[in-house]
């Protein structure tokens, strides 16, 4: 198991290295000379040359890459072209907001999606199944922005239960923070929950008709144990796969949701940076997103191994 994790972590590092090369080259491939942009219009060639030297832009590309990598690893992601603040500082401020939103949305998705999926499978072709699949279809079809606006209209404008938008840091006032995050998290989690529900349902239907479930019943085990341990354990591989694949969609969903609810998170930062052509910020945002994806995939792989002994034990010199 330890070897398995180390091997996976090793390949994750390689992926990150390749991604950093691509990001580096991608920025360099953009039209325009950064030194000219920084020096401003009508700058003298000697000034441009000086800037180029100062920023190491006169060195060959491999040397520039080594500089970039060294700086990135030491936490220096450059400065925002908008306000000259360090990008690392901006990220440290914005990232936790999005992580909280995503974590809450994920919680909603897992609790509602997996729970409803199990119930739908166990009560197949009966009322709970129809209700769950009906809501699943609706959750899948309704876009975030519309659901968000509808939510604001109902809970903030009509019922006045929740504030319409804005953000309060958790460290400042946890109650206020959750009050403002609950609606965005529900909106962001709904589509995800619908997908998880459908996948959990079909995986559970397969597992429930498996021979080993019949064996479990023949042992006289309670139905809770048959469904919750024997069937669910074998369905979780599917659930984890969907979870891993859909976390990417969660990031793009967060961009839209943060726009609607005016939450100063990573998604809003990305949109603003693109609109103002803030290259250092875009570069950092892309890098962080890549790291996020790689980490999620690493966690999914480890979860697979944890759930499936056939993966865990392969290559351990056994069987």
Partner 1 sequence: MSLLRITDLTVGFDTDDGLVQAVKGISLELAEGEILALCGESGCGKSVTAMSVPRLLPPETTRLSGSIELDGRELTELPESQLRRIRGKDVSVVFQEPMTSLNPSFTVGYQIAEVLRRHEGLSRRAARDRAVELLELVGIPLPARRVKEYPHQLSGGMRQRVMIAIAVACSPRVLIADEPTTALDVTIQAGVLDVFRDLRDRLGTAVILITHDLGVVADIADRAVVMYAGRAVEQAPVDELFARPRHPYTLGLMRALPSAAVNGRLAEIPGLVPSPLSDPDECAFHARCPRAQADCVLKRPELVRQADEHLAACFHPGGPS
Minimum distance, C-beta of residue 307 to partner 1, in the bound complex (Å):
7
41 belongs to the binding site for partner 1 (CB under 8 A): no
CB 273, CB 285: distance < 8 Å:
yes
Residue with tokens 């429930």: 208
Q: Three-state secondary structure along 4-24?
A: HHHHHHHHHHHHHHHHHHHHH
Residue with tokens 């739908």: 120
Question: Between the CA of residue 127 and those of 122, 124, 130, 134, 195, what are the distances in Å?
Answer: 11, 8, 5, 10, 20
3-state helix, strand, coil in the chain (%, to 5): 80, 0, 20
Q: Is 79 helix (H, G, I), strand (E, B) or coil?
A: strand
- DSSP state for residue 52 in the 8-state scheme: H
Among 32, 84, 159, 318, binds partner 1 (CB under 8 A): 318
Q: How many CB atoms lie within 10 A of CB 147?
A: 20
Tallying the residues shown for the chain, one arrives at 319
Binding mask 108-127 toward partner 1 (x if CB under 8 A, else -) reads --------------------
Most distant CA pair in the chain: distance in Å? 87
Query: Which tokens sit at 102?
Result: 């995503």
- Where does this chain touch partner 1 (CB under 8 A) — which range of 23-31, 80-88, 158-166, 305-313? 305-313
217 belongs to the binding site for partner 1 (CB under 8 A): yes
CB-nearer residue toward partner 1: 160 or 318: 318
Window 231 to 260, contacts with partner 1 (CB under 8 A): 233-234
Minimum distance, C-beta of residue 296 to partner 1, in the bound complex (Å):
23
Give how many residues touch partner 1 by CB under 8 A. Answer: 22
Residue with tokens 């769950």: 132
Window 45 to 74, contacts with partner 1 (CB under 8 A): none
- Where does this chain touch partner 1 (CB under 8 A) — which range of 184-192, 238-246, 258-266, 311-319? 311-319
Minimum distance, C-beta of residue 129 to partner 1, in the bound complex (Å):
13
Minimum distance, C-beta of residue 233 to partner 1, in the bound complex (Å):
5
Minimum distance, C-beta of residue 230 to partner 1, in the bound complex (Å):
5
CB-nearer residue toward partner 1: 42 or 211: 211
CB 43, CB 36: distance < 8 Å:
yes
130 belongs to the binding site for partner 1 (CB under 8 A): no
Among 218, 224, 275, 317, binds partner 1 (CB under 8 A): 218
- Where does this chain touch partner 1 (CB under 8 A) — which range of 34-42, 70-78, 100-108, 308-316? 308-316
Is residue 279 packed enough to be buried (19+ CB in 10 Å), middle (13-18) or exposed (0-12)? Answer: middle
Among 15, 99, 290, 307, binds partner 1 (CB under 8 A): 307
Window 177 to 216, contacts with partner 1 (CB under 8 A): 210-212, 214-216
Nearest to 223 by CA among 237, 213, 233: 213
309 belongs to the binding site for partner 1 (CB under 8 A): yes
317 belongs to the binding site for partner 1 (CB under 8 A): no
**Alpha-carbon distance 95 to 167, whole Å?**
14
224 belongs to the binding site for partner 1 (CB under 8 A): no
List residues binding partner 1 (CB under 8 A): 210-212, 214-222, 230, 233-234, 307-310, 313, 318-319
């Amino acid at each position: 198991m330890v070897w398995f994790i180390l091997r996976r972590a090793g390949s994750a590092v390689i992926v990150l290295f390749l991604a950093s090369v691509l990001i580096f080259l991608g920025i360099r491939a953009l039209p325009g000379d950064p030194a000219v942009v920084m020096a401003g219009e009508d700058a003298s060639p000697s000034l441009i040359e000086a800037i180029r030297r100062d920023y190491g832009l006169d060195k060959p590309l491999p040397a520039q890459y080594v500089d970039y990598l060294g700086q990135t690893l030491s936490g220096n992601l450059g400065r925002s072209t908008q306000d000259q603040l360090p990008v690392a500082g901006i990220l440290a401020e914005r990232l936790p907001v999005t992580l909280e939103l995503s974590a809450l949305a994920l919680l909603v998705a897992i609790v509602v999606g997996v729970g409803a999926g199990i119930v739908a499978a166990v009560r197949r072709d009966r009322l709970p199944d129809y209700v769950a699949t009906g809501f699943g279809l609706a959750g899948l079809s309704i876009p975030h922005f519309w659901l968000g606006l509808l939510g604001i209209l109902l809970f903030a404008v009509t019922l006045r239960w929740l504030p319409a938008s804005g953000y309060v840091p958790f460290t400042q006032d946890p109650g206020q923070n959750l009050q403002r995050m609950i609606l965005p998290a529900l909106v962001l989690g709904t589509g995800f929950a619908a997908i998880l529900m459908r996948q959990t349902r079909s995986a559970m239907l397969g597992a429930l008709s498996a021979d080993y479930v019949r064996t479990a019943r023949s042992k006289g085990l309670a139905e809770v144990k048959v469904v919750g341990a024997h069937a669910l354990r074998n369905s979780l591989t599917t659930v984890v796969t969907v979870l891993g694949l859909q976390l990417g969609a969660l990031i793009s969903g967060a961009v839209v949701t943060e726009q609607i609810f005016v939450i100063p998170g990573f998604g809003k930062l990305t949109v603003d940076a693109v609109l103002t052509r803030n290259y250092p910020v875009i570069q950092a945002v892309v890098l962080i997103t890549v790291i996020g994806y790689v980490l999620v995939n690493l966690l999914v792989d480890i979860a697979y191994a944890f759930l499936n002994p056939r993966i865990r034990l392969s290559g351990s010199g056994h069987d």
